[in-house]
Homo-oligomer: A and B are copies of this chain.
Amino acid sequence: MERKQILIKHSFWMKQQEDSPVVLSSRVRLARNLDMLPFPHALTQQEAKKIEKTIAEVLREIEVENENLAYLSLTELSTIEKQVLLEKHLISSSLIKAVGSQGVALAQDHRCAVMVNEEDHIRLQVLMPGDKLAETFRLANILDDALEDKLDFAYKEALGYLTACPTNVGTGMRASIMVHLPALAITNQVQQVLGALTHLGLAVRGIYGEGSQAHGHIFQVSNQITLGKSEEDIVVHLKAVSSQIMEHELQAREALRREANLSLEDKVWRARGTLQNAHLLTSDEAINLLSFDKMGTDMGILPKTKQKFAALLVDSHPGSLQYSLDRELSPSQRDEQRARLFREAMS
């Protein structure tokens, strides 16, 4: 398949899940390394190349649910293409900076993505829309098994999977959910609700991972502990937390409707009006307006639009914006094209 065809499409996780207004997506990521070989940071260029080749061959061969993966070598990709992958949550920001023997294998609808020579030799992820941790975990296991059939993973009975960073040793698993919490944000309850999670061994980050800000009232919640807990326990635990967060957010929305309905309507309709009419939109403004627009739509205040939240969220980011127009854009040109995107998508 053409690289452009693979990259340009909306990932599966970006499809709107009408039944899950708060949990936008569910992700399981497993860290794996080849046995008896140094971790990526300690590899020579030649060793890294050889490892990439070995893993890429396996990735091209395996089938996940009757489907092959497409392998993309990072060195073949332009800066904008790498940015698109990052914006779609298919590679990490550390991979974008890599210059050597890194790559990523993608399923047709991007639900599976396997990074090669990131922090570990293999970082496989399954990413699905909505509140689907169990299903996501099931598919990650299938993918993991398919790889383990053909590759020897570094594994110690007493520890579990060995990883470059000790925080991943054990299951090597991070399960995470991406949640949209506009009502908790408006009512200043986000800190209170999410702050408690760190005591439960969970981490909270912004939409683009560690150190990124919580633009658009979107947060990622993931497990911190990988050692001494089974994968199933991690998933069950996070699933329970996810239900609680959703409950809090929905309660906050109902409280807003009850106690400040008019200013709620005002806020979401203004967001819609600005997205439909602006001719210049910065990334920050767009994502915040889009967040209120989504809340208004989810609450039945605003009519549904052609294009849905997560698709617009990603499409309006700099990389995706430039990639879809097939040209580089200055920041002010991006603001112009972003506004055009929203006017067309929301009218």
Residues of A within 8 A of B (CB): 262-263, 265-266, 269-270, 272-274, 276-280, 332, 336, 339
Contacts and interface: CB of A to CB of B under 8 A. Distances in A.
A262 to B, nearest CB: 6
13 contacts: A262-B279, A262-B332, A263-B280, A265-B279, A266-B278, A269-B278, A270-B278, A273-B273, A273-B276, A273-B277, A273-B278, A274-B274, A276-B277
A336 B332 CA distance: 35
A185 B116 CA distance: 57
Contacts of A263: 279-280
Contacts of A273: 273-274, 276-278
Contacts of A336: 262
A307 to B, nearest CB: 18
Given A263-B279, A273-B273, 12 more contacts: A262-B279, A262-B280, A262-B336, A265-B279, A269-B279, A270-B274, A270-B277, A270-B278, A272-B277, A273-B274, A274-B274, A276-B277
Nearest to A279: B266
A192 to B, nearest CB: 28
Contacts of A278: 266, 269-270, 273
A278 B274 CA distance: 10
A183 to B, nearest CB: 17
A262 B279 CA distance: 7
A325 B276 CA distance: 31
Chain A interface, DSSP helix/strand/loop, else mixed: helix
A184 B269 CA distance: 31
Contacts of A269: 277-279
A284 B263 CA distance: 17
Contacts of A277: 269-270, 272-274, 276
Nearest to A301: B279
Contacts of A339: 266
Contacts of A272: 277
Nearest to A336: B262
A33 B177 CA distance: 80
Please list the 8 inter-chain residue pairs (A to B) with the smallest Cβ-Cβ separation, ordered nearest first.
Answer: A273-B277, A273-B273, A266-B279, A269-B277, A266-B280, A265-B279, A270-B278, A273-B274
Nearest to A333: B262
A279 B280 CA distance: 23
Contacts of A332: 262
A284 to B, nearest CB: 15
Contacts of A265: 279
Nearest to A265: B279
Contacts of A279: 262-263, 265-266, 269-270
A199 B274 CA distance: 43
A146 B230 CA distance: 99
Contacts of A262: 279-280, 332, 336
